[in-house]
Chains A and B, each alone.
Chain A
């Protein structure tokens, strides 16, 4: 499974869009990009996933570059409850969690 690279931490003002980047330059053709988040001491929460096309659901949007080597998770209007560690995972069969991006939403 491909390795991912994420910035260790980011801040975002409440009400603004949070854009979380992820590099996955070694992704292979059948591997999906998944995003999860973990709020302190809870289990990881599924956010969104995609293969090639951009995806949107009630929580977030996922933008995947045409070459699939990177992606961005967008939280359109961040709230204080979005403060969490966000994990980008590229997976064919197994999920490998890195250290993620710690997002802090600032009032």
Chain B
């Protein structure tokens, strides 16, 4: 019974490159959330997706960041033209349903380092 799987666990990119982070939710979960955590800080919500739809992207930076959750395959968080400030841990979570009373289950994150 696999939990949320994220890959890669560690990703190193040079400034200006693209970073693609993958998240496979718990089997049967159709709601996916992405969070970013800077050192010594709590997690910050970025985006909430349901299969093929972005439901809430209020925490996403306006430029360079995008997310998708296709009908088949994992959810992808894409960061174009990365900058040093994008260095952080990115966590994905999934839930069975949406709404109050639904716990989110988290993966172990992708640590992104920008050289």
Is B41's beta carbon under 8 Å from chain A? yes
Chain A hits for B99, CB < 8 A = 93
Residues 5-48 of B, flagged 1 when their CB comes within 8 A of A and 0 if not, give 01000000000000000000000000001010000011111001
Tell which of A31, A46, A100 has the most Cβ of chain B within 10 Å: A46
Is there an interface contact between A87 and B42, defined as CB atoms closer than 8 Å?
yes
Number of interface residues of B (CB under 8 A): 26
Measured CB to CB, the residues of B under 8 A from A are: 4, 6, 33, 35, 41-45, 48, 56, 89, 91, 93, 98-101, 103-109, 111
Q: Given A46-B105, A99-B42, does the pair A32, B100 have CB atoms closer than 8 Å?
A: yes
Residues of A within 8 A of B6 (CB): 43
Q: List 25 A-B contacts (CB under 8 A).
A: A30-B100, A32-B101, A34-B103, A36-B106, A41-B111, A43-B93, A43-B107, A43-B109, A44-B43, A44-B91, A44-B93, A46-B106, A49-B101, A51-B100, A87-B42, A91-B100, A93-B56, A94-B56, A95-B45, A97-B42, A97-B44, A98-B42, A99-B41, A99-B42, A100-B42
